[in-house]
Each structure stands twice: as structure tokens, then as C-alpha cells.
Amino acid sequence: MSHRRSLPLTVLFCLFFPLALVAADTKTPPAKLTAAQIVEKNVAARGGLQAWRAVQSMSWTGKMDAGGGDSTARSRDFVMGKRHHPTKTELMGKKNAEKDEANKQVQLPFVMEMKRPRKSRVEIEFAGKTAIQVYDGSSGWKLRPFLNRNEVEPFTAEELKSEAAKSDLDGPLVDYAAKGTKVELEGSEPVEGRNAYKLKLTMKSGTVQHVWIDAENFLDVKVEGTPRRMDGKMHNVSIYQREFRPVQGVMIPFILETAVDGYPSTHKMIIEKAVVNPKLDDTVFAKIRQ
């Protein structure tokens, strides 16, 4: 019997920041650089300081993984309005089907819009319904019809804390000193077969985050995400991003993969289109209206 577990759909409402991953040889030891030199090379590899300072907004569209049976199958039945009363035979068949469904993931269309400072809006299409999460830089709201919740809800205190701790759309290393962030080099270690510098970032708030920078191309290979409470316990989160492409002078990842400690499955966000500096009015990030 399979005990594979999938992340709840609500966990997928998260924001990511630029990283990278490409193939390389780990036999060559990393060059001896200071933390400041590594950050300088990272910013240059991602398009340069001036290019990122010119980015005021961004939008991504694509598909993201969601799974499995517990969140997906039951939610699909609800939003599609199924009210059939099954027979005993049908119930037995449904139980077996739900076991199989629990090991599956589906890909859902999404739109993510971001604007300085730290404003964000995410919309996910699911079985004809639209789930929305909005953060205006200080307050947040969510609408989750896939969980039978058709009323706009405010962010929890934990969700607000998580959003406030996230970096702006340029990531944590661009203008890090001006942001009040202290960066230290903790050494190097392999990440998915590549040598990487491990940087410790201490934010102005005191929050600590680690980022791993590829020792060859100086793009981000791994970043610590905000720990998540699941099954009553806190789990560490790691975010990997791949297939960086230039968009209007800056490098943007087109595949982002999130892994949560203790969960065998990972979840990908596949970006199909990225736009730099789209026109986004502040009303886009206002409280959701139904």
C-alpha cells in the first residue's frame, strides 16, 4: 500500500524569487571569493543592478502542480456541483479510485502578478472556479472555492508574517545592503551535483535565510523557503529554479520546483510567459471583491 503524501493545494499559494540550475562538473573546487564578490557576480549574472532597479512590476502565466486526491478529488466534486448519492458498490469503487488519485498530481493554470513594494496577486483556475490570493504590502486576503470556502478571508497572522518576510520581486541579493541585509559566506557544498556557495542572509528583521549560488555561472541553485506547518509540524522548504531565460534584460526562471522535508513528492511551477514592467494598477492588489 502506498503512503505517498502530497502537499495541500493551499501550500501552492506562495511567491518565488529568481534562482537557477544548469549542468556542470563538481570536481573543480569553487574559487576563493568573499561573500560580497559572490553577490556581485550573482547580480551581474541575473542581468545587472541597473536592470533590476528598473523593474517595477512583473507577471507570470503558466501551470503549477497540485495534488492529490484529498485536496483535488473532493474539491473537484464540490465545484462541479456533484450531489449524487452513491450505492454501496459505488462507494467501494470510489475508495479505490481515491487511493489512486492520492498519488497523482494535476497541473492548474495560474497567473501571478507582482509590483513593488511586495505587492502580489495569484489566481489559480480549478474546475471552472478561480482561487485568488492578494497581498497589498501590508494586508492579505484569499478566496478558496476549491475548499468549499466561497467567502473572502483575511490572511492568518502566520501568513502575514510569511509574506512580510519575503523579498521584493528582485530577490534578496539585489541592493542587499540598502535593504539592511547582512550576507556571510558559510562555505561551499554540492547541490544537485553542482558546486555551490552557501550564503547566510540575516535580514533587517533578524530573519535568517540561506541561498546557494552556483560556483560556475553564479546563478542561484537553491534557496530556503519559509517553513510550513503541515500535519501539525513545521517542515523546512527548499525552492529550486531552472531554465533561466532573458526577459527584457533580466534573467527569469521558467521552472520552479518546491520540496518540503518529509514529503516525497515535489511541486513544479512552469512559467509559459513572463512580462517585465506590465501596467498594473494598485487596485489589482486591493481586497478581493465578490
Quick check: is 219 in a domain? yes
Cα end-to-end distance, the chain, whole Å: 43
Number of domains in the chain: 1
The yes-or-no verdict on residue 13 having pLDDT over 80 is no
- Could you tell me if residue 201 is inside a domain? yes
Instruction: Identify the band that residue 29 occupies on the pLDDT scale cut at 50, 70 and 90.
Output: low
Q: What domain range includes position 238?
A: 17-57+166-269
pLDDT for res 52: 97
CB 208 within 8 A of CB 233: no
- Least trusted range by pLDDT, from 5-14, 195-204, 258-267: 5-14
For residue 107, tell me if it sits in a domain. no
Beta carbons of 241 and 273 less than 8 angstroms apart = no
184 belongs to a structural domain: yes
Q: Is residue 226 part of a domain?
A: yes
Residue 91 lies in a domain: no
In a domain, 286, yes or no: no
Task: Give the pLDDT band of residue 30 (cuts 50, 70, 90).
Answer: confident
The packing angle between helices 69-79 and 88-102, to 10°, is 130
User: Per the domain annotation, does 22 fall within a domain?
Assistant: yes
Is the pTM here over 0.85, yes or no? no
- Band of pLDDT at residue 282, cut at 50, 70 and 90: very high
Least confident of 11-15, 60-64, 133-137: 11-15
Average pLDDT of every residue of the chain = 81
Q: Three-state SS string across 219-277, please?
A: CEEEEEEEEEEECCEEEEEEEEEEEEEEECCEEEEEEEEEEECCCCCCEEEEEEEEEEC
Per-residue confidence (pLDDT) for residue 92, from 0 to 100: 53
